[in-house]
Structure 1
């Protein structure tokens, strides 16, 4: 019979199985990247309630490139894998700068824009939680 080892990290549970015939698990390193209850603009994180889809994407944003004014109707999380990204809330003008290793909990349903403010490409790993069909980015009609 196999041996089960469980680890509880934050709110997530990682289960690892090591059977006596396959050999023992030698080492596992878990490094939490972020634990947040609010978006970048201080909103409580809300999640889709029905027909939920998870979409994982990578983004490459060239030096000097700007993303247009847009918003996300549902939760979006990004891990900055390279570069320097500045995100500005269009309503308040408040900006935040994210660098390699930072986790961005994007604002939900608030207009904002972003730009690469560094010399290197910004590389993002983006995770969207979407309700129903369609995407998670709405472009501002005036921009």
Structure 2
């Protein structure tokens, strides 16, 4: 017991190890987004039962335009670089995203995106689909 107390005291006295040195915190949490709805205002809907989480990296070159498509299951994206514009074909809405933005994509609505900037768009994309399913994009015929 005495050894444990001495060990804890030593850790507490070491500056910058567990509690920071006053100038810099060892862990910083910056909220990016908190929402219960998609970009177009739909409630976020997850598949019933077990889900498969898929993570992909997308790079969209300047001027490139994605085909019109929809997602039957929830998709999220974090914009790491570039400027992305998404057009919701069903509602006519336009969404402009820049680095640092977190996107809760529209659910089961036809839409497309395009790189409207001069540098590649880099996205970290997260899909939540029914267990065993890996495809979450349906392109318009």
Q: Shorter-chain TM-score: which interval?
A: 0.7 to 0.9
Shift of 1:33: 1.0
* Runs of 4+, deviation exceeding 3 Å: none
Shift of 1:63: 0.2
Structure 1 distance, partners of 2:50, 2:35, is: 24
Quote the residue 1:98 is aligned against: 97
Unaligned runs of 5+ in 2: 2-6, 12-16, 21-25
Matched, 1:36 2:35: yes
* Worse overlay, 104-113 or 46-55: 46-55
RMSD over equivalenced CA pairs, Å:
2.0
TM-score, L = length of structure 2: 0.81
Structure 2 distance, partners of 1:118, 1:126, is: 19
* Higher share in strand: 1
TM-score, L = length of structure 1: 0.80
* Higher share in helix: 2
Unaligned runs of 5+ in 1: 2-18
Q: Secondary structure at the match of 1:35?
A: coil
What is the count of residue pairs matched by the alignment? 124
